């Protein structure tokens, strides 16, 4: 198929060039189109056509939302958007690890800034399709002297143009950002975003994206703060600085966040820990290393309400969203489920959840050729 060939060709390009080419094809409408698979759910009062959303980092500057939804995503999260424009870290800053089905990136919040993004969002809203759930991921400028205020400023400008706001305090690529999730700063940031919503007379869900590198004490403390502050959900997780078990020797020592297949187990384990600790008091978006319907099912079995992916879109091509959603529908039918909520969080062990998901996939999807969907 033509898109399989194009995906193979993009792998010959440097990582960031491949990313820019993908954005260009989406912007020009040169992409496959899928009606969104219907596997609906609701999180924090928001409706989702299906559980597979696009994670922040792909459409950083709100340029291709329509194209992303056309691929079949149940939700799209743009950003990270900073108050002022900034170029991010010097290039090269994206590195492929093909042996590991992974990337390391150190983009560093490269952003056109909230004013440019707000203009694009305003135009998009004029033709937005009902039911398309859009979020904005906000962050602080590198040179800001008051990073907490940056979250207030970005939320004030952008929240009225989207369905939810997510707070990025877990990127490993901007100095000082990760420290905000380990201290009293987290509470202050959440309060600043809440205050921005109150001032704008808006009621919007707030999500917080956490690092998979937090230890259990740090993770539980962050969850406790979020529950106390009335945050709607946790995005678990961002990229990792761990390099455990990587095969690629050329790029494994590059600074930045690791995403893709090697992140899967770690992000799942942190999701499970956080879900068990939260005891149903907060929602969870599962992110990290999802490339199959079985992977997606594993995260739901460990407590995810909905999901997000990014790296597998770059690695596997534009069909991956429809493939995973179609696989999840078949798993539901095969398992006799009315919806995925029935099995959410039934396991608290990654190994048991993953084994169960793989068994279900082998049983109900074994005759499928996913590449033909």
Q: Which residues have a catalytic role annotated?
A: 171
Structure tokens at 285: 């978006």
Cα of first residue to Cα of last residue in the chain, in angstroms, is 11
β-bridge mates for residue 96, sequence order: 103
Contact 320, 291 (CB under 8 A): yes
With tokens 């205050």, the residue in question is 195
Angle (deg, nearest 10), helices 293-301 and 320-335: 60
Instruction: Give one DSSP letter per residue of 180-223, joined into a string.
Output: GGSSTHHHHHHHHHHHHHHHTT----EEEEE-TT--HHHHHHHH
Pull the structure tokens for residue 317. 């091509």
Tokens representing residue 42 in the block? 């609701």
For 77, the 3-state DSSP assignment is strand
Q: CA-to-CA distance for 48 and 46, rounded, in angstroms?
A: 7
């Amino acid at each position: 198929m033509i898109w399989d060939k194009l995906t193979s060709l993009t792998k010959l390009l440097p990582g960031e060039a491949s990313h820019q080419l993908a954005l260009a094809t989406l912007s020009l409408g040169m992409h496959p189109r899928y009606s969104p698979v219907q596997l609906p759910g609701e999180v924090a009062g928001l409706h989702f056509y299906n559980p597979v959303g696009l994670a922040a980092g792909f459409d950083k500057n709100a340029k291709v939302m329509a194209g992303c939804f056309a691929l079949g995503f149940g939700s799209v999260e743009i950003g990270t958007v900073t108050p002022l424009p900034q170029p991010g870290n010097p290039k090269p800053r994206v590195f492929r690890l093909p042996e590991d089905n992974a990337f390391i990136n150190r983009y560093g919040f490269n952003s056109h800034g909230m004013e440019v993004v707000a203009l694009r969002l305003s135009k998009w809203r004029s033709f937005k399709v009902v039911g398309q759930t859009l979020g904005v991921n906000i962050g602080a400028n590198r040179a800001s002297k008051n990073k907490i205020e940056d979250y207030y400023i970005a939320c004030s400008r952008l929240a009225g143009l989207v369905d939810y706001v997510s707070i990025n305090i877990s990127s490993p690529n901007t100095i000082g950002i990760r420290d905000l999730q380990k201290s009293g700063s987290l509470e202050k940031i959440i309060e600043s975003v809440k205050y921005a919503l109150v001032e704008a007379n808006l009621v919007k869900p707030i999500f917080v994206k956490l690092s998979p590198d937090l230890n259990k004490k740090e993770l539980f403390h962050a969850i406790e703060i979020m529950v106390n502050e009335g945050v709607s959900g946790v995005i678990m997780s961002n990229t990792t600085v761990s390099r455990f078990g990587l095969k690629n020797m050329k790029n494994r020592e590059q600074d930045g966040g690791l995403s893709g297949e090697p992140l899967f187990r770690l992000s799942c384990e942190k999701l499970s820990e956080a879900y068990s600790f939260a005891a149903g008091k907060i929602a969870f978006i599962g992110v990290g290393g999802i490339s199959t319907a079985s992977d997606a099912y594993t995260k739901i079995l460990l407590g995810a309400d909905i999901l997000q992916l990014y790296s597998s879109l770059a690695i596997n091509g534009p069909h991956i969203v429809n493939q995973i959603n179609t696989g999840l529908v078949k798993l539901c039918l095969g398992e006799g489920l009315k919806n995925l909520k029935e099995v959410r969080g039934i396991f608290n062990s990654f190994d048991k959840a993953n084994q169960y998901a793989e068994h279900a996939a082998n049983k109900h999807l074994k005759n499928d050729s996913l590449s033909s969907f």
